[in-house]
């Protein structure tokens, strides 16, 4: 993928968990911030959506029955803002200009998301960290990532996973699984490859938004995927 492109990076909140189980690993955050700064330095315009699963997963809590799903999802949205402002702080410490924008208004903590200000930040070379999901319950951060990517005229979504692309089966349990270099949206649906949750993937397909799937673990992983130096699967219209 050439530089000058606008990319939304979708990160898992679980990736931030420390080895001892604490919800936030400072070293992981520092490494990730340095990687995103490298991507900006390489010429990419970067927006980020990060999940809140290291703190709470609304769907799981809601399914347990002791709290209703809408409330649990609201708690999850707040968790994503916590992760977002932590990442913003790490980015600034790494020398990258960053802004957190939340779909849930909390002006004493961060900016409220609006499309035009977000586009302005991107044009200025700032990393825009988008918290609060879509601002509504019952939608995942996958859906928020695709929605924001479309709103911000991104060229692609990079979904960071624990493996280096999309496989025909789980490579951890099926070592014979095949990794795909390129897929179409239709092929991913027909083969039920679980690129993203159903609502997110349907939105990406409808808007012909490419999705890049790769491993963002380790120093420089995001930049390596974007520059073509690391393997990844590209899901195209």
pLDDT tens digits, residue range 171-216? 888 989 999 999 999 999 888 888 898 899 999 999 999 999 999 8
In a domain? residue 1: no
In a domain? residue 213: yes
Q: Check the annotation: does 26 bind a ligand.
A: no
In a domain? residue 148: yes
Q: Check the annotation: does 131 bind a ligand.
A: no
Q: Check the annotation: does 107 bind a ligand.
A: no
Q: What is the CATH number of the domain that holds 179?
A: 3.40.1160.10
Residue indicated by tokens 């991913």: 188
pLDDT tens digits, residue range 74-120? 999 999 999 999 999 999 999 999 999 999 999 999 999 999 999 99
Say if residue 171 is exposed, middle or buried (CB neighbours under 10 Å; 0-12, 13-18, 19+). Answer: middle
Q: Check the annotation: does 210 bind a ligand.
A: no
Half-sphere exposure of 96 (CA within 13 A, CB side): 34
In a domain? residue 48: yes
pTM of the entire predicted model = 0.94
In a domain? residue 108: yes
In a domain? residue 123: yes
Range of 181's domain?
Answer: 6-236
For the chain, report the end-to-end CA distance as a whole number of angstroms.
16
In a domain? residue 105: yes
Q: Check the annotation: does 44 bind a ligand.
A: no
Q: Check the annotation: does 141 bind a ligand.
A: yes
Q: How many domains is the chain partitioned into structurally?
A: 1
Q: Check the annotation: does 228 bind a ligand.
A: no
């Amino acid at each position: 993928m050439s530089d000058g492109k606008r990319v939304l990076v979708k990160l898992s909140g679980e990736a931030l968990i420390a080895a001892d189980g604490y919800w936030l690993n400072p070293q992981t955050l520092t490494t990730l911030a340095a990687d995103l700064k490298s991507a900006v330095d390489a010429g990419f315009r970067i927006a980020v959506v990060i999940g809140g699963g290291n703190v709470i997963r609304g769907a799981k809590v809601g399914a347990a029955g002791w709290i209703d799903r809408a409330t649990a999802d609201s708690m999850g949205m707040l968790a994503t803002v916590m992760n977002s402002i932590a990442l913003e702080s790490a980015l600034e410490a790494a020398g990258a200009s960053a802004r957190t924008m939340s779909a849930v208004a909390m002006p004493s903590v961060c900016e409220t998301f609006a499309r035009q200000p977000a586009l302005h930040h991107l044009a200025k070379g700032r990393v825009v960290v988008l918290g609060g999901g879509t601002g509504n319950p019952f939608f995942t951060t996958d859906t928020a990532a695709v929605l924001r990517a479309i709103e911000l005229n991104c060229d692609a979504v990079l979904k960071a996973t624990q493996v280096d692309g999309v496989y025909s089966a789980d490579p951890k349990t099926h070592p014979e699984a095949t990794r795909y270099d390129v897929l179409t949206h239709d092929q991913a649906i027909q083969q039920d490859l679980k690129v993203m949750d159903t609502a997110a993937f349907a939105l990406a397909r409808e808007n012909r938004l490419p999705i890049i799937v790769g491993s963002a673990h380790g120093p420089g992983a995001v930049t390596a995927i974007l520059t073509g130096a690391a393997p990844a699967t590209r899901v195209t219209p």
